Amino acid sequence: MKEKLIDLFEYTYHFNTEMIKVISENLERVDEKTISLINHTLNAQQIWNSRILNEKTFEVWQMNPFEALGEINQQNFEKSIEVINNFDPDQKITYQNSRGVAFENTVFEMLFQAINHSTYHRGQINSLLKQNGIEPVLTDYIFYKR
């Protein structure tokens, strides 16, 4: 299980990196929604990691300096691997969402949410890139594994 989760976070890290690269190469052509979504994608992974690790979280829609996104992506990846290596995937974690409502989920559920959420928003970003005349990034997992 841990090896599969690590593989999925390597995939997530790889394509977040590719998205940041394509956006940076086309900054004059991307819109604010694209910048907001890449920030949100990275923020959400940081938030899920921090909920598990009981650390301070980012704001869901905070805007980070664009030049910091690569480092945030790297830190997110390292924290996700730390969680995988140091927590039982079936361990339940109690946390509060951004509205202060308490929930309880397993570490696996929280990690899978981070992966799935990133995939969803990369799809949205690709759609926005295409609308702005920028070649979208082929992010399918199967292509990553080929």
Give the residue ranges of the annotated binding site.
40, 117, 121
φ, ψ at 89 (rounded to 5°):
-60, -20
Task: Give 51-103 as a DSSP string.
Answer: HHHT-PPPPTTPPPPGGGHHHHHHHHHHHHHHHHHHS-TT-EEEEE-TTS-EE
Q: Which residues are annotated as a binding site for a divalent metal cation?
A: 40, 117, 121
Q: At what angle do helices 107-131 and 69-86 cross, to 10 degrees?
A: 160
Residue 86 · residue 44 · CB < 8 Å: no
Q: For residue 79, what are its two tokens? A: 């924290």
